[in-house]
Each structure stands twice: as C-alpha cells, then as structure tokens.
Amino acid sequence: MPTTLFQHVQHRHGSGLAEVLQAVAAAAVQVEQALRTAGLADVLGTAGYENIQGEQQQKLDVIANEILSAAIGKLPTVAGLVSEEDDAPVVFAARPDAPYVVLFDPLDGSSNLDVNVNVGTIVSVQTRPAGTDAVTAALQAGSQQTAALYVNYGPSTLLVYTAGRGVHSFTLSSSEFVLAAEDLRMPASGPYYSLNEGNLAESDPAYTSAVAGLRDGSLTGDRHGSRYVGSFIADFHRTLLKGGIFLYPPTKKNPHGKLRLLYEASPLSFVAEQAGGAATDGQERILDLLPAEPHVRTPLVIGSRVEVSAVSDMLAGSPRE
Ligand code: AHG
Ligand code: MN
Ligand code: MN
C-alpha cells in the first residue's frame, strides 16, 4: 500500500502539521483540475486587474488563491494567511490562539500558463510563538519555518515538502499524493546555471562576471549550460534533482529582486538547505533575513553549495545597493 502525504507527515511530525499539509495537498488537487481544463473553461488570460505586486493577475491566479485560501482557512489550527494575491494578511479573529500561520504563492509562474509550461504552488508554514499575533508570526525569519512545500504541475504533478527532517517527494495518482522518494539530496555541484539573461545588463556587473565564470568554467572549474523555464518552481525542481544554480538578481525594475521572500525564496531555501544545498540574497543567508512586511522582495542565489558559495563570494566583493 503506497504511503500517502498525510501518513508520512503524521508519522514524522504529528497530526497537527499533517492536517495542514493535507489541506494544501487537497487544494492542489483542485488547482491541478482547474489547470488541466483551463483551455476549455475560458479561464486562461488575465483577470483584468493588477495585484499588490503591480502585476496583471491571471484568472487562474485568482482561482488558485480562492481554492487555497478556502481549504487552509477553514482549519481550526490556522490563525492567519498571507497570500501573494492578497494585499493584506487574512487574520482569523475568532481563533487568535491557533498554532499555525500559512503563507503561499497560489500559482507560481503564471506568465507560463497560456503556453502550457509547468507552473506551481509554494507554501510556507510558521508556528505562532506564544503571545504573538498572526501577523507577527508571519514575519518571522525563514529559519523559524515549521514546514515548506511546493507543487510542480507538469507532465506529472509532484509535491515536495520538508519539515526539518529531510526533503520528500510525492506524485499525484488518482487524486492522492503518494510517496515517490525520501531524503532527496541536491548534488554538491551541477551542470546548469539558470537566470533571465535578458536582465543581466540591468544588474550589478558582478552578476555578469559570475555568469561568465559559470559558463566558461573559470568560476568552479566546470563549465555550465543554461536552462531557464521562467517558473521558479520548475527551475528550482530541476536544480534540486540535477544540481547547479538559479539566480534572480536585482534589476532596474526590481531593485530588490523580483521574488518575494516570505512565500517564494524562504520556503524553497528551507527545502534547498534540507537537501544539502544553499541559498543567499547574494551575500546573506536567505533563512536569516527578517522581513519588514509580507510582500518584501529579495535577490536570490539558490542551488548547489559549490556554485552558491562561489557566486556569493564573487558578489560579496561588490558594493551593495
Ligand atoms: P509569479 O507567477 O508567482 O508572479 O512568479 C513568477 C516569478 C517566478 O516564477 C519566475 O522565476 C520569475 O517570475 C520569472 O521572472 P522573469 O519573467 O522576469 O524572468
Ligand atoms: Mn511566484
Ligand atoms: Mn504567483
């Protein structure tokens, strides 16, 4: 009998967390169904308004946000939610003492939706410290996370999670996520570098030098090929399995980087470190960063230890913004 996500989490971390991650998984099954039939149900394309990120919301961003918010929000153990698609945190005033706060990017990579390329869902779970409110709990450093999870909707739909005792992957099989692999390890070094090279001219020249060094082999001794999907979860998942490095540097348009700390960089940095990889903002460890507000952005350098430390060393020498 295959091991389900709920069984795996319950066995290692107890029923409380298992119920939260199972609610996320059940919501992901609904999101996957919405994605699969999107072309027929006229839900591709933009929803016609901008979110707090200043980005055109896709109809499926809104649908995925509604599915996840409803599924997680009805748990009596959840005190509040932070979503990429909601301007402000959702605080459940009726349950101020609930133990968990859940933060999520309901649909990552939505610019790829209309061209049938992998997209994902990213989730971070924080435990509310005694005496704090839900918003304070949401703004803890990534190192305090109780769990991190992402779903990769692709040729197969995979769910990967960590709760501090290794990284484990599950495959969606007839509406249930079943265990595929335990204790995933990111290779110490890998064959690919991954970034939007179209932005390089706008970034600190140290990034151009680092990428040139990855490409020609002078940075780590090994040459690297380029891979860039444009959906963070897809670029990260490949990096987790094959090794290498993903970068989203500061640009003129996004001087603090494009990716959001709380529900993109932080959860996947937790996964990366648990698998033996590393993640910095170019210099500081991502999991040490303290966010001032829910939608703060950060530069991101994430992947295999060899590449992340070599690139971060090179960037350390360059002046900060
Ligand atoms: P989201 O769809 O949640 O806004 O995330 C999109 C992000 C991330 O998935 C990806 O790595 C990045 O945007 C790609 O940005 P560029 O198109 O600027 O390369
Ligand atoms: Mn995203
Ligand atoms: Mn998103």
* 301-318 pLDDT per residue, tens: 999 999 999 999 999 875
Q: Give residue-wise pLDDT tens across range 234-276.
A: 999 999 999 999 999 999 999 999 999 999 999 999 999 999 9
Q: Reply yes or no on whether the pLDDT at 146 is more than 50.
A: yes
**Residues 50 and 175 both lie in one domain:** yes
Question: What distance in angstroms lies between residue 1's CA and the mean position of ligand 2's atoms?
Answer: 34
Residue 321's pLDDT is what? 47
Domain that holds residue 97: 5-181
Based on the fold, state whether residues 197 and 124 are members of the same structural domain.
no
Distances (CA, A) of 26 to 102, 154, 280: 15, 17, 32
Q: Is the CB of 111 under 6 A from ligand 1?
A: yes
Last residue of a domain, one of 181, 201, 222: 181
Q: 293 and 148, same structural domain?
A: no
Angle, alpha carbons 290-69-144 (nearest 5°): 25
Greater pLDDT, 114 or 56: 114
The number of domains in the chain is 2
Note the pTM of the prediction, 2 decimals: 0.96
Instruction: Decide which of 181, 210, 241 is a domain's last residue.
Output: 181
The pairing of strands 225-226 and 245-248 is unpaired
Q: Is 196 in the pocket of ligand 1 (CB under 6 A)?
A: yes
pLDDT of residue 285: 97
Residue 320 lies in a domain: no
Residue with the two structure tokens 């107890």: 14
Nearest residue CA, atom 8 of ligand 1? 232
298 domain residue, yes or no: yes
pLDDT at 318: 56
Those residues whose C-beta lies under 8 Å from the C-beta of residue 64, and which sit 6 or more positions away, are 31, 34, 106, 107, 121
**Residue 302's domain is classified under what CATH number?**
3.40.190.80
Choose one of 46, 231, 245 to mutate for the ligand 1 pocket test, by most ligand atoms within 8 angstroms of C-beta: 231
Mean predicted confidence (pLDDT) in 104-125: 95
What pLDDT does residue 57 have? 72
Ligand 2 center–CA 182 separation, angstroms? 25
CA of 208 to the centre of ligand 3 (A): 27
Tell whether 158 and 283 lie within a shared domain. no
- Domain boundary residue among 119, 148, 181? 181
